[in-house]
Amino acid sequence: MNVPYSRKHMKWLLGAGALIVLGTILRWILRLNATDAPRMAGLAQLGPERDAIYQPIALEIETQAAILGISLNDAIEERDAGQLEIAWRLVRLSVSEWDRLAEILGLLSIAMSRHLGNARTVIPVRGVAADRFKSRVMADYVRMHELFDQLVFRTRLRFQLHLRMLRRAAEILNREFRRDYRYADRTEDRPSEMWERFDYYFHDFDLVVKETLLSCRTLLACLPHSSLPAFAADLKSLVRRGVRSTVLTGGR
């Protein structure tokens, strides 16, 4: 009875492997990486009108990411100096900032997905390699995404998959950070490994932040002029959710 099941299981594995190999061969034959789905070599070029749409949301997100990074770095430094109570107070402050930034990233990703259908040109798609991430959970997740990415050829669908990956990555990191924080806050068990994970989580979260902003910039460069007002309105609503960038830049 076990033999037929094993054969079926083996056929399923061979079939999945054949699909992956076929997808890789087709991508090479069609040269999609070089033409129809170019990988971004640098920043997408924006004119003054599109740059004016991009800069406020970029400033808001980059400012909040910087505040989060400073809070966590200060917490780790205080912990290394033996100031454990001060260090944990800084971690508590970081939690709300992390939540705030994760919410804006998620909403930005949703807004981009909503306007993606208006793009009239081929959308360059960035590849995010798993070895750029430090945390185990993110490296495993991105590695799985890379597998699916090999089977998708349409550039618009690949960009949509990329946005979904970034949104899910932010959710995963937020969940993992909060889970470690809640456990340590409740039990006061705060080993060195936990602090190392905090450092890894922020490194990966900051990478997701940068990739999300690059995706926003790319989409802006590909949208027709007629679609800009609606997209700009959505981004403005996200900026109004935060006031830190306005305060730190003197209201500019």
CA dihedral sign, ordered 214, 162, 140, 34? negative
Q: What was the pLDDT predicted at 159? A: 85
Helix (H) or strand (E) holding 230: helix 228-239
Q: Is residue 24 part of a domain?
A: no
Q: Is residue 176 part of a domain?
A: yes
Q: Going from the first residue of the chain to its last (252 residues), give the mean pLDDT of each consecutive group of 10, the final group possibly shorter.
A: 47 48 41 37 75 94 94 93 93 91 92 88 72 90 70 68 90 94 92 93 95 93 92 89 44 38
Q: Is residue 21 part of a domain?
A: no
Q: Is residue 197 part of a domain?
A: yes
Q: Is residue 7 part of a domain?
A: no
Q: What was the pLDDT predicted at 2? A: 42
CA dihedral sign, ordered 54, 146, 134, 90? positive
CA-to-CA distance for 64 and 242, rounded, in angstroms? 9
Q: What was the pLDDT predicted at 122? A: 63
Which CA distances in Å does 16 have to 26, 74, 162? 15, 47, 22
Residue with tokens 């430090």: 134
**Stated length of the chain:** 252
Q: Is residue 151 part of a domain?
A: yes
Shortest CA distance to 47 belongs to which of 224, 234, 230, 210?
Answer: 224
Q: What was the pLDDT predicted at 168? A: 92
Residue with tokens 């640098």: 42
**DSSP at 121:** S
Residue with tokens 């990411």: 65
Structural domain count, the chain: 1
Q: What was the pLDDT predicted at 54? A: 94
Shortest CA distance to 3 belongs to which of 18, 17, 11?
Answer: 11
Q: pLDDT (tens digit, 9 = 90+) per residue, 166-205?
A: 999 999 999 999 999 999 999 988 899 999 999 999 999 9
Q: What was the pLDDT predicted at 116? A: 87
Domain range for 96: 31-248
Q: Is residue 17 part of a domain?
A: no
